[in-house]
Amino acid sequence: RKEVEQDPGPFNVPEGATVAFNCTYSNSASQSFFWYRQDCRKEPKLLMSVYSSGNEDGRFTAQLNRASQYISLLIRDSKLSDSATYLCVVIHLRDNQGGKLIFGQGTELSVKP
Amino acid sequence: DGGITQSPKYLFRKEGQNVTLSCEQNLNHDAMYWYRQDPGQGLRLIYYSQIVNDFQKGDIAEGYSVSREKKESFPLTVTSAQKNPTAFYLCASRPETGGTYEQYFGPGTRLTVT
């Protein structure tokens, strides 16, 4: 079983739609959680951190459920420019890995006019 | 401007040749990382360094080598021992202090070996 699992998609949605991505992680000792966005053939860029209380940044809302080891990202009123691959990222601090990021394989989103 | 630079953007090599990928940062970050990304897969850690003159193997270090002689620089050498070197290589960095764990990525180098 992969440490971080995401639905690879693709998710094809019309402009203005609300779309939700889910991510599960297997290590209960995981401590920090992020969503990164990666455009085609570009580097990943930090979209937002995910906090236990849930957090919102404009049209984006991230949720964490530690009991179920589950992270979500909700995008409201999706724009064409939201088309990208969304990477779920988890960190669990180990003695010898210095805060290694563990990536899901990404969920591809395509927003159509 | 502060940031992470990687060069070159595209690199082509013949099988059996070693090749070195450059990564430089002027963010004054202590920790630096090398990842590899293959199509349809998540990033996988090759090597990381938390301090100058020290580095550690990641999950897929075989066939790669690194050095960290300066805080700003963390070059990666892909050796002829790496069986499937064609991939997208990403360098990242983060500050060691401050309790923040997110990493910031350079633009990547696409290596093609034929």
Residues A50/B5, Cβ–Cβ less than 8 Å: no
The predicted pLDDT at position B95 comes to 81
Segment A81-103 shows an average pLDDT of 81
Q: Report the C-alpha gap between A20 and A22 in whole angstroms.
A: 7
The more confident residue out of B70 and B1 is B70
In chain B, residues with a C-beta closer than 8 Å to the C-beta of A8 are: 40
Q: Does A108 have pLDDT greater than 80? A: yes
CB contact under 8 A, A43 and B107: yes
The reply to whether residue A46 touches residue B58, judged by beta carbons under 8 angstroms, is: no
Q: Is the pLDDT of residue A44 over 90?
A: yes
Mean pLDDT of chain A: 90
Q: Which residue of B has its CA nearest to A7?
A: B40
Measured CB to CB, residues of chain B less than 8 Å from chain A are 31, 33, 40-45, 48, 50, 56, 58, 88, 90, 92, 94, 101-108, 110
One-letter amino acid of B24: E
User: Which of B88, B102, B107 has the CB atom closest to A49's CB atom?
Assistant: B102
- Residue A97: list chain B partners with CB under 8 A: 45, 48, 56, 58
Query: Does residue A89 carry a pLDDT above 60?
Result: yes
Give the Cβ contact number of residue A99 at 10 Å: 20
Q: Which residues of B touch A96 (CB under 8 A)?
A: 56
Model pLDDT, residue B1: 61
How confident is the model at residue B99, as a pLDDT?
A: 64
Average pLDDT over residues A51-66: 92
- Segment A2-13 mean pLDDT: 91
Q: What was the pLDDT predicted at B71?
A: 96
| pLDDT (mean) for A5-21 | 94
**pLDDT tens digit sequence for B46-64:** 999 989 999 999 999 999 9
Whether B42 sits inside 8 A of A106 (CB atoms) is yes
Of B20, B24, B21, B33, nearest in space to B3 by CA: B24
pLDDT band at B102 (very low <50, low <70, confident <90, very high): confident
State pLDDT tens for residues B7-22. Answer: 999 999 999 999 999 9
State the pLDDT at residue A28. 81
Residue in chain A lying closest to B96 (CA): A98
| pLDDT at residue B88 is higher than 70 | yes
* Residue B40 scores a pLDDT above 80: no
Least confident of A47-51, A70-74, B37-41, B85-89: B37-41
Alpha-carbon distance B30 to nearest alpha carbon in chain A (angstroms): 11
CA B46, B37, A20, B99 torsion-angle sign: positive
Return the exposure string of A46-77: e unless at least 16 CB atoms fall within 10 Å of the residue's CB, then b: ebbbbeeeeeeeeebbbbbeeeebebbbebee
